[in-house]
Amino acid sequence: MNTDEINANIGRRIRDLRNRNDLTQQELADRSELTKGFISQLENGQVSPSVETLMNLIEILGTTPADFFKEGEKEQVVFSPGDYFVKTDDAGNSRTWLIPSALKFQMEPLLVVIQPHESLDEDKPHTGEEFGYVLSGCISLYLGDKVYHVKAGESFYYRTEKDHRIANQSARPAKLIWISTPPMF
């Protein structure tokens, strides 16, 4: 990396942090006792800050030198069966975490298989929403004091404000995609 690329990289990171902190260039300049023009030139990779100035900006922007210079982690976008995590209970029901790192995200997708005449554990009311799409078989969705029957090709969606559980009352396994938000499994 040459000097111009280093300056551009530092400038981009300063601009990103400034924007995340909802600061204008003038506000950052005032807090750091620099000029708005210098901040603009810095963000555009036209000047190099001194080590002292850069450390001051990093502190003002609420980060550490280690985090500031850490290379961005590559975010996995595509997941294959080798990435999945499967948990099977004593009855043979299984949950497959399709996105194994989902706890850090807003939703958690699972592939669920419920054996004939079996049920998943009941969930108590909590904050969140759940969605499901039945791939094969049929399920009974118990939501509060109501029961909904959902067959292959149908979906369901509900807020988790009531006791809820899913059962398979049929003679063959049921398979569904189940997405909850926030992640909880």
3 state SS of 119: strand
Task: Express each pLDDT in 91-123 by its tens digit.
Answer: 999 999 898 776 667 888 999 999 999 999 988
Q: Pick from 180, 177, 174: which is nearest to 93 by CA?
A: 174
Strands 85-88 and 94-97 come out as antiparallel
Q: Cα–Cα distance between 181 and 177 in angstroms, integer?
A: 14
Number of domains in the chain: 2
pLDDT band at 162 (very low <50, low <70, confident <90, very high): very high
Q: Residue 41: is its pLDDT beyond 90?
A: yes
Structure pTM? 0.61
Q: Is residue 75 part of a domain?
A: no
Q: Which domain holds residue 30?
A: 3-69
- Which pairs from 67-74 meet CB under 8 Å and 24+ separation? 68/13, 68/17
**Shared domain check, 96 and 118:** yes
CA–CA distance, 41 with 109 (Å, rounded to integer): 44
Average pLDDT over residues 133-142: 98
pLDDT of 182 above 90: no
Residue 111: C-alpha distances to residues 1, 46, 85 (Å): 45, 51, 10
CATH number, residue 111: 2.60.120.10
